[in-house]
Amino acid sequence: MFTQKEDEKKQEEKKETETTKTETTEKKDSPENAEKNHKSSNPRFSRKNEDKKVNADKQKDKINELEKQIAELKEKVAGEKDDYVRLMAEFETFRRRSAEERLSLVNSASLDTIKGLLPTLDDCERAMDLLKDAKDSSSAKEGTELIYNKLFAYLKTKGLEIIKAKGEKFDTDFHEAVTNFPVNEPEKKGTVIDVIQTGYTLNGKVIRYAKVVVGA
């Protein structure tokens, strides 16, 4: 009885072993494994994979080279942009300086011309002072005043202005004291009481100080 059960158990184990071998054999012989084994053992398939890898490496190298070229071009463009900005700044500075120099030359020429005409204004003032108290000199007085007024009106359009002096507080920025004159009135001390020579400014800049007498 015991021997029969052992025989049955051995037969079942044998069947299971044969079933396992059969399944393993079927798996090995399955289409998927067959294709896989075929590909792995196929030289053409291996060469194809190698070609793909080589192409991928070449593309990667090409991409790296292109990125390097792009970086170099960006750096070059940035450098040229800096050069352009610097040149524009230098040109703007040159243009401004040239304009200032031209303006300075024009102002200098105007200054010299107007300074040369100031003695003529002085002569007109002296003539009017002399003719003020003269008899039978109305025509000469009017003629002198006409010349003076026309000349001064023209020079005024160029920026010439008379420096206010008589009755003003003495100011070294505009007045040049020729002498001091004693005065009794306290309010006249330090004040211009007479003008020896008229002073002028040109566009706000003193071109001749007013020569004055100051109360002391």
- At the second CATH level, the architecture of 161-216 is Roll (2.30)
Range with lowest mean pLDDT among 9-13, 43-47, 164-168, 201-205: 43-47
C-alpha to C-alpha distance for 29 and 180, rounded to whole angstroms: 135
Task: Give the SS3 label for residue 27.
Answer: helix
Model confidence band, residue 174 (pLDDT cutoffs 50, 70, 90) = very high
Domain boundaries defined on the chain: 161-216
The token pair at 65 is 């080279």
**CB within 8 Å of 174: residues ≥ 6 apart:** 163, 164, 165, 199, 201, 206, 209, 210
pLDDT of residue 134: 66
Average pLDDT of span 75-86? 84
* Residue pLDDT, tens place only, 124-139: 888 877 777 666 667 6
* Residue pLDDT, tens place only, 49-73: 676 777 777 888 888 888 888 888 8
Average pLDDT of span 22-34? 53
